Amino acid sequence: MDFDLPLIWAAIIAFAVLAYVVLDGFDLGVGILFPLFPEKHDRDVMMNSVAPVWDGNETWLVLGGGGLMAVFPLAYATVLPALYAPIIAMLIGLIFRGVAFEYRWRTKRAEFLWNWAFAGGSMLAAFAQGIALGALVQGIPVENRAYAGSWWDWLTPFSIVTGIAIVVGYALLGATWLVMKTHGDLAERARAIALKCCFATIGAMGVVSLWTPFLDPVYLQRWFGWPTAIFSVIVPLLVLGCLYLLIKGIRDRHDVQPFIAALGLFILGYIGIGISFYPYMVPPSLTIWEAAAPEESLAFLLAGALVLVPIILAYTGYAYWVFRGKVDPEEGYH
Amino acid sequence: MFESFDATMLARMQFAFTVSFHIIFPAFSIGLASYLAVLEALWLWKKDEVYLELFNFWKTIFAVTFGMGVVSGIVMSYQFGTNWSVFADKAGPIIGPLMGYEVLTAFFLEAGFLGVMLFGLNRVGPRLHFFATAMVAIGTLISATWILSANSWMQTPAGFAVNEAGQFTPVDWWAIIFNPSFPYRLVHMVLAAYLTTAFVVGACGAWHLLRQTAPRRSRTMFSMAMWMAAIVAPIQILAGDQHGLNTLEHQPAKVMGMEGHFESHPDGAPLVLFGIPNAAEKRIDYAIEVPKLGSLILKHDLNAPLAGLDTIPAELHPPVAVIFWSFRIMVGIGFAMLGIGLWSLWCRYHGTLASDPWLHRAAVLMGPAGFVAVLAGWVTTEVGRQPYTVYGHLLTANSIAPIEAPAVSASLLAFIIVYFFVFGAGTFYILRLMARLPRDTMPELDEGPIRTAGVAHGPASAKSHGAHHGL
């Protein structure tokens, strides 16, 4: 039996990126919400709620990037130059907020600085990721195995909107995470913020979803042509279901349900993008098969990935299990 | 400031700058992770509190170092695409899977268990906690293995073909991973990381011995570091010699540049100790040489002929001045490390290891030496690879992304400002953490949330341990 290796790898890379988006999404979201919680004690708890896991979360980004170079080198080599400025901005944002996890505890006098680094870095990284997503959706021209557009193509009204949508969406993930992981007044305020972010996120998703089909006739055909139009009924219905569970979970003061429902929203949005993209790796220029590395590379890495990804998921799950439950405000190794 | 540079030169500067910063952190964290595992093992085995105290002290420093390594490493993994996209397209099918395996086998392992190592002692108990520490240490070594394999493949490519799109395609993965220079490079780098860490730990111990604070902890730390220096420095010099022979075999132009041999020497080459390389005139000015010694070192024969750069077209010469100096800096530091190691053995024999102030002063001075040597070594090997990215097959000039100079210079400037600010602050915090050791209380800062009691999870014994030590 023949395996369609490029397609399998497209699914694995898609999974890695999704894992990154939902995992780093909530810890970036905690950073985005930092300015709304001015008290030091709240901020200590917020940071400690993600401190043991953020590093693992961010590793999915490295797998997404490194994996893309390994199995879709042509996609990697054309998308990254096209997104030069947002990628650099994202990296700088991630630098600032990554070091803030340690530096913030090392100084009293400069603590405000690292609070800003954490909040600002998280916002910058999230916004840049949203812009990159928007730029990818609106299309990247490729000629002769190289990016063929200009340097500011990524900057459009559409990409700004997707940038804002990601910031708001991550804030929702962060707020529902805090509802799940914290006690008392902090959790109460997170609940109120989660409700607001929920409406903002669904609004932003709506705008992006209605805009996307008109960017490219392929997308339009995909969403409103037969038989694929089935998706454009199912996906929004499921979105509404998640939205209901999310709002009800917040109103009924559930701890876990809002976070799970918010993850559901993200996964559905992601599936929506996937439906629009298929079979492209770099729309509208490169299909999955055109962008793929030689068979030998795909097979070699797949052998490892099939064994290692389940192991990774197992010990990542274990690490989350070790730190399960509400954050103890007194806890931290600092 | 950057008008005179083209995009290729700027992209090279950006890569050199970001990779130089990055390499500092793994060089330290590889050694430190192993040191932490050893300390925790000693604590579990000997039940001596001094090891746990040292573990907790260096753990905090490790966390800061590791954080900086992670964020500077993410930059590296995206820079191949932003600035070197043609390289990424062509070499991606080979370099990519090697780096992919690094992420799958090492990064996740380190990141997954780092949280448990830093935050989990009284949640999982000492034995599982030691397992987490060991996983972090093993992760750093696995990571080094894959990265050195990828880098070595760029230096001594093997096991590949080239397809019609100009991509390097894998033919034999075994030959790719275990390419001719990989074992030498891996050993040399891991030993360098251990030495670097030993000299930082040794300098910290010596500093506190000089100030006579917390003598027991400082003595233990200093003694362990000096054992490392005494044992590993000579091994490293041997490994370096073997690596040099390997380089002569596979990248002769690099060795010619390192040794300053512009001319061929048909009957025995001298060893150029010092001099000023003059690339325009193709000679070493003011050279101080030892006749025949070059052939003795490189060929283990006084009269063996040695080819010079005159046998290679000028456009394929590496930048001689840079690698001539960086190589001498690395070797000089290596011998200085050996000197400290031998000195420490002499003091140990006479029972003055913890009391000889001159040894301690020398050790403090040598604290940053490992970092300088590691940087100099990487400059030698990477600049010596020029003008190629994939040695002998892909020129650097043909690897660059279709980017414009202003975009690269703007991002380079941004990286320079951000790196100096962020990593400058990190260095400051690490130095301050090191200076704070000698208090009898735990090294935690007053302003961090000090845990007052155990948490509800984990075995009771661990809980009492954690509470006892104020973890």
Digit-by-digit pLDDT tens for chain B (471 residues) are 445 678 888 888 888 888 888 888 988 999 999 999 999 999 989 888 888 888 988 988 998 898 888 888 888 888 888 888 888 888 889 998 999 999 999 988 998 898 888 887 778 888 889 999 999 999 999 999 999 999 999 999 998 888 888 889 999 999 999 999 999 999 999 999 999 999 999 999 998 888 877 778 888 899 999 999 999 999 999 999 889 888 888 888 888 888 888 888 888 888 888 888 877 777 787 878 888 888 888 888 888 888 888 888 888 888 888 888 899 999 999 999 999 999 999 988 888 888 888 999 999 999 999 999 999 999 998 888 888 889 888 888 888 887 777 888 888 888 888 888 888 888 888 888 888 865 544 444 443 333 333 333 333 333 333 333 333
How confident is the model over A99-143, as pLDDT tens digits?
A: 888 888 888 888 888 999 999 999 999 999 999 998 888 888 888
Tell if the CB–CB gap between B86 and A146 is shorter than 8 Å. yes
Question: By three-state DSSP, how is residue B391 classified?
Answer: coil
Tell if the CB–CB gap between B108 and A61 is shorter than 8 Å. no
Q: How far apart are CA A302 and CA A292, in angstroms?
A: 13
Min Cα distance B92 → chain A (Å) is 5
How confident is the model over A27-55, as pLDDT tens digits?
A: 999 999 999 998 888 888 899 888 888 88
Min Cα distance A236 → chain B (Å) is 34
At what angle are helices B182-210 and B126-155 packed, to 10 degrees?
130
Report chain A's mean pLDDT, rounded to a whole number: 87
Q: Most B CBs within 10 Å: which of A59, A124, A328, as the mutation test of the B interface?
A: A59
The structure tokens 């073909």 sit at B161
- A·B CB contacts under 8 A: 269
In contact, B197 and B224? CB cutoff 8 Å: no
Min Cα distance B18 → chain A (Å) is 12
Q: Could you tell me whether strands B160-162 and B168-170 are parallel, antiparallel, or unpaired per DSSP bridges?
A: antiparallel
Residues of A in contact with B429 (CB under 8 A): 102-103, 106-107
CA dihedral A161, A164, A170, A175 (to 10 degrees): -130
Tell if the CB–CB gap between A108 and B80 is shorter than 8 Å. no
Structure-block tokens of residue B108: 């996740």
CA dihedral B346, B347, B348, B352 (to 10 degrees): 160
In contact, B303 and B295? CB cutoff 8 Å: yes
Question: By three-state DSSP, how is residue A234 classified?
Answer: helix
Residues of A in contact with B96 (CB under 8 A): 66-67, 69-71, 73, 76, 293, 297, 301
Q: Which residue of B has its CA nearest to A91?
A: B75
What confidence score (pLDDT) does residue A2 get? 65
Tell if the CB–CB gap between B451 and A331 is shorter than 8 Å. yes
Which of B155, B160, B156 shows the shortest CA–CA distance to B170? Answer: B160
Q: Which residues contact B168 (CB under 8 A, 6 or more apart)?
A: B90, B91, B93, B94, B157, B160, B161, B162, B390, B393, B394
What distance lies between CA B90 and its chain's CA centroid?
A: 27
Tell if the CB–CB gap between B115 and A297 is shorter than 8 Å. no
Closest in B407, B426, B455 to A84, CB measured:
B407
DSSP annotation of A327: P
Q: Which residues contact B60 (CB under 8 A, 6 or more apart)?
A: A333, A334, B433, B443, B444
Its ipTM equals: 0.84
> H or E segment at B343?
helix B320-349
Closest in B74, B116, B171 to A94, CB measured:
B74
Q: Could you tell me whether strands B271-278 and A142-143 are parallel, antiparallel, or unpaired per DSSP bridges?
A: unpaired
Q: Most A CBs within 10 Å: which of B95, B99, B104, as the mutation test of the A interface?
A: B104
Q: Say how many C-beta atoms besides its own lie within 10 A of residue B266's C-beta.
A: 12
Q: Respond yes or no on whether the N-terminal peptide bond of residue B387 is cis (omega within 30° of 0).
A: yes
Tell if the CB–CB gap between A105 and B445 is shorter than 8 Å. yes
Q: Which residue of A has its CA nearest to B119?
A: A333
Structure-block tokens of residue A42: 């709240």
Q: Which residue of A has its CA nearest to B165?
A: A145
Q: How far apart are CA B141 and CA B31, in angstroms?
A: 9
Q: Which residue of A has its CA nearest to B117?
A: A52
Q: Which residue of B has its CA nearest to A51?
A: B115
Q: How far apart are CA B110 and CA B100, in angstroms?
A: 15
What confidence score (pLDDT) does residue B2 get? 47
What confidence score (pLDDT) does residue A193 get? 92
What confidence score (pLDDT) does residue B465 get? 38
Q: Which residue of B has its CA nearest to A42?
A: B449
Which of B233, B69, B25, B172 shows the shortest CA–CA distance to A62? Answer: B69
Put simply, whether A23 touches B (Cβ < 8 Å) is no
Residue A143, sorted as left (phi over 0), alpha (psi -120 to 50) or beta, turns out to be: beta
For chain A, the maximum distance between any two Cα atoms, rounded to a whole number of angstroms, is: 65
Min Cα distance A242 → chain B (Å) is 30
Structure-block tokens of residue A308: 């290692």
Q: How far apart are CA B126 and CA B131, in angstroms?
A: 9
Q: Say how many C-beta atoms besides its own lie within 10 A of residue B346's C-beta.
A: 14
Closest in A99, A296, A309 to B170, CB measured:
A296
Question: By three-state DSSP, how is residue B386 classified?
Answer: coil
Structure-block tokens of residue B203: 């300098």
Tell if the CB–CB gap between A69 and B80 is shorter than 8 Å. yes
> H or E segment at A147?
strand A146-147
In contact, B240 and B251? CB cutoff 8 Å: no
How confident is the model over A7-20, as pLDDT tens digits?
A: 999 999 889 889 99
Tell if the CB–CB gap between A330 and B72 is shorter than 8 Å. no
**Residues A243, A57, A29, B444: is their CA dihedral positive or negative?**
positive
What confidence score (pLDDT) does residue A333 get? 65
Tell if the CB–CB gap between A332 and B119 is shorter than 8 Å. yes
Predicted TM-score of the model (pTM): 0.86
The A residues from 51 to 70 touching B (CB cutoff 8 Å) are: 51-53, 55-56, 58-59, 61-63, 65-70
Question: By three-state DSSP, how is residue B273 classified?
Answer: strand
Q: Which residue of B has its CA nearest to A305?
A: B104
> H or E segment at B289?
strand B283-290
Residues of A in contact with B112 (CB under 8 A): 56, 312, 315-316, 318-319
A68-81 average pLDDT score = 88
- Count the alpha carbons within 13 Å of A261 in the hemisphere toward its beta carbon: 28
Closest in A94, A111, A325 to B71, CB measured:
A94
In contact, B33 and B62? CB cutoff 8 Å: yes
What confidence score (pLDDT) does residue A174 get? 94
Residues of A in contact with B73 (CB under 8 A): 62
Q: How far apart are CA A108 and CA B91, in angstroms?
A: 47
Q: Which residue of A has its CA nearest to B410?
A: A85
What confidence score (pLDDT) does residue B437 get? 64
Q: How far apart are CA A291 and CA A311, in angstroms?
A: 28
What confidence score (pLDDT) does residue B124 get? 84
Give the 3-state secondary structure percentages of chain A, helix then strand then coil, rounded to 5.
80, 5, 20
Tell if the CB–CB gap between B81 and A147 is shorter than 8 Å. no
Q: Respond yes or no on whether the N-terminal peptide bond of residue A73 is cis (omega within 30° of 0).
A: no
